[in-house]
């Protein structure tokens, strides 16, 4: 059996929480009952004050750290930052990471059975918003006996959930970490999402979202959607240094097969994704991104929208991120400043574009760890020995 790294949370097992109390959604519909799949790392202290919630991004899920099996090829998606001695130190914190509603990794979503029709929800699964997710996460916290999170943390779409937590449940969150996020999508962001959606919806195998009933998968559409998305996750420099204009074979072959390495890479990313992710989930996650705009009901004034927040914020951006560039994080930080909230903002020098939030980077880790260790100190959390 291969050894697991010493700074890993080790082997982890997902759990399922079932909820029978209906969840009212922003779209006007109600989810009558639902499951949330989650993992936990570390130990909840007797006072239940050391819980941290991890919110995932567009294609994320509950498996944020550790391994499901000792021969699992890769650990959870945020293993770089969660574990003993890491930024989110599991010797101090009890980490909760869930798959959001509408997801395709175990929580109730389009591939679950609709109790009313006894067929899969498919495209009938109600549209979810960031606010709905936060509401369902609060119910999971209730179930786990967590009155107040020591921190709610997320990158990208996950950062939006952390922000929403501070507004929806200000008394239930002691700290918020908002990484590579934005207080709202730009027209260009929405445009990219729409290209992804059209790629999926125009696939002949999509069948208006009932593809599973036709035993089909809109694989080409999903693949294209992921390829477009993936371009926005990397920076021009990162792509350039990784692939340049490298060819797969020595000569040009004057055809439409894969010639450049970058083409091969994108196709591979698209293929992998399209065989593991649900198209309806992808569609509704992109809509949740598009709809997020807490300032909208405050006349577009973000400084007013953030007024309910009570907790200290850490806002982090990355220099080469052009999906949610530093200016978007600054917009959030400035609104928090204007509202007189406690906030620190850092712009990490990284060549890796939007994906930088998932990767190790010494300064990112130092800042993250400093914020979390201050949070632990303020909450009187002792290091477990």
Partner 1 sequence: MMRADLELIHRWIPNGAHILDLACGDGTLLEALARNKGVSGYGLEIDPVGITACIEKGVNVIEQNLDEGLVNFEDDTYDLVVMTQALQALRRPDRMLDEMLRVADECIITFPNFAYWRHRVHLGIRGYMPVSKSLPHAWYDTPNIHLSTFNDFEHLCREKGLTITDRAVGIRDHEGHWASRLWPNLFGEIAIFRISRRQD
The closest of 369, 381, 337, 9 to 174, measured between CA atoms, is 381
Cβ proximity to partner 1: between 57 and 367 the closer is: 367
Q: Does 133 bind partner 1 (CB under 8 A)?
A: no
Stretch that binds partner 1, among 7-15, 69-77, 216-224, 338-346 (CB under 8 A): 338-346
Contacts of 127 (CB under 8 A, 6+ apart): 25, 26, 27, 284, 287, 288, 291
Closer Cβ to partner 1, 130 or 335, answer by number: 335
Residue 300: other Cβ atoms inside 10 A: 11
Quote the strand ranges of the chain, DSSP E: 15-19, 23-24, 30-31, 34-41, 51-55, 82-83, 88-89, 94-98, 151-155, 176-179, 313-318, 343-348
Q: Which conformational region is residue 106 in: left (phi greater than 0), alpha (psi within -120 to 50 degrees), or beta? A: left
Residue whose structure tokens are 């600054």:
330
Residue 95 bridge partners (DSSP): 41, 52
Which one of 346, 358, 379, 381 is in contact with partner 1 (CB under 8 A)?
Answer: 346
Residue 29 as a binder of partner 1 (CB under 8 A): the answer is: no
Nearer to partner 1, 50 or 286 (CB): 50
Q: Say whether residue 237 binds partner 1 (CB under 8 A).
A: no
Shortest CA distance to 284 belongs to which of 96, 18, 14, 27? 27
Torsion angles phi and psi, residue 53, rounded to 5? -105, 130
Q: Kind and range of the H or E element at 191?
A: helix 187-201
Active-site choice (62, 329, 354, 355): 354
Report, in Å, the least distance between residue 48 CB and partner 1.
23
Is residue 325 a contact residue for partner 1 (CB under 8 A)?
A: no
**Rule CB under 8 A: is residue 330 a binding residue for partner 1?**
yes
> Out of 337, 339, 351, 384, which residue is the one contacting partner 1 (CB under 8 A)?
337
Give the per-residue SS3 of 324-366: CCHHHHHHHHHHHHHCCCCEEEEEECCCCHHHHHHCCCHHHHH
Q: How far is the CB of 370 from partner 1 (least distance, A)?
A: 4
User: Is residue 87 a contact point for partner 1 (CB under 8 A)?
Assistant: no
Smallest distance, partner 1 to C-beta of residue 342, A? 6
Catalytic one among 89, 203, 278, 321? 321
Which range in 12-20, 111-119, 278-286, 342-350 contacts partner 1 by CB under 8 A? 342-350
Exactly one of 174, 266, 284, 367 binds partner 1 (CB under 8 A); that residue is 367
Q: Which of 210, 338, 339, 384 binds partner 1 (CB under 8 A)?
A: 338
Chosen residue from 37, 285, 333, 356 binding partner 1 by CB under 8 A: 333
Binding segment for partner 1 (CB under 8 A), chosen from 5-13, 54-62, 71-79, 333-341, is 333-341
**Binding to partner 1 by residue 370, rule CB under 8 A?**
yes
| Alpha-carbon span 91 to 93, nearest angstrom | 6
Shortest Å distance, C-beta 345 to partner 1: 5
Query: What is the number of other CB atoms lying within 10 angstroms of the CB of residue 246?
Result: 11
Q: What is the DSSP letter of 288?
A: H
Give the residue with the Cβ less far from partner 1, 198 or 334: 334
Q: In the annotation, is 230 catalytic?
A: no
Active site annotation includes 321: yes
* Range in contact with partner 1 (rule: CB under 8 A) among 21-29, 33-41, 71-79, 329-337: 329-337
Place of tokens 């599973």: 212
Contacts of 285 (CB under 8 A, 6+ apart): 58, 59, 102, 103, 157
Q: Which of residues 284-323 bind partner 1 (CB under 8 A)?
A: 312, 314
Q: Which residues are catalytic?
A: 156, 321, 354
User: Could you list the residues that contact partner 1 (CB under 8 A)?
Assistant: 312, 314, 330, 333-334, 337-338, 340, 342-347, 363, 366-367, 370-371, 373-374, 378
């Amino acid at each position: 059996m291969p050894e697991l790294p010493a700074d890993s949370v080790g082997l982890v097992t997902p759990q399922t929480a079932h909820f029978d109390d209906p969840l009212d959604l922003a779209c006007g519909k109600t989810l009558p009952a639902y499951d949330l799949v989650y993992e936990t790392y570390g130990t909840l202290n007797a006072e239940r004050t050391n819980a941290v919630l991890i919110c995932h991004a567009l294609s994320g899920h509950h498996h944020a750290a550790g391994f499901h099996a000792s021969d699992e090829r890769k650990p959870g998606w945020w293993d770089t930052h969660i574990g003993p001695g890491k930024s989110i130190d599991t010797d101090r914190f009890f980490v909760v990471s869930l798959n959001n509603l509408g997801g395709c990794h175990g929580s109730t979503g389009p591939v679950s059975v609709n109790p009313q029709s006894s067929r899969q929800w498919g495209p009938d699964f109600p549209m979810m918003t960031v606010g709905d997710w936060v509401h369902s996460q609060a119910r999971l916290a209730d179930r786990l006996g967590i009155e107040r999170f020591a921190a709610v943390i997320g990158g990208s779409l996950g950062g939006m959930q952390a922000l929403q937590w501070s507004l929806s449940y200000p008394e239930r969150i002691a700290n918020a970490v908002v990484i590579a996020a934005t207080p709202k999508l730009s027209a260009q962001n929405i445009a990219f999402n729409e290209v992804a959606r059209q790629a999926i919806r125009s696939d002949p195998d999509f069948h208006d979202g009932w593809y599973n009933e036709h035993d089909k998968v809109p694989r080409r559409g999903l693949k294209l959607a992921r390829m477009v998305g993936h371009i926005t996750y990397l920076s021009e420099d990162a792509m350039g240094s990784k692939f340049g204009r490298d060819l797969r074979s020595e000569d040009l072959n004057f055809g439409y097969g894969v010639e450049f390495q970058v083409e091969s890479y994108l196709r591979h990313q698209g293929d992998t994704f399209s065989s593991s992710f649900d198209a309806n989930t992808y569609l509704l996650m992109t809509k949740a991104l598009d709809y997020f705009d807490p300032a909208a009901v405050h006349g577009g004034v973000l400084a007013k929208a953030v007024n309910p927040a009570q907790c200290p914020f850490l806002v982090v951006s990355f220099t080469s991120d052009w999906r949610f560039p530093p200016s978007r994080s600054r917009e959030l930080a400035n609104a928090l400043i204007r509202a007189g909230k406690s906030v620190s903002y850092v712009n990490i020098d990284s060549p890796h574009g939007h994906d930088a939030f998932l990767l190790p980077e010494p300064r990112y880790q130092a800042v993250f760890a400093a914020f979390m260790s201050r949070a632990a100190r303020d909450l009187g959390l002792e290091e477990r020995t």
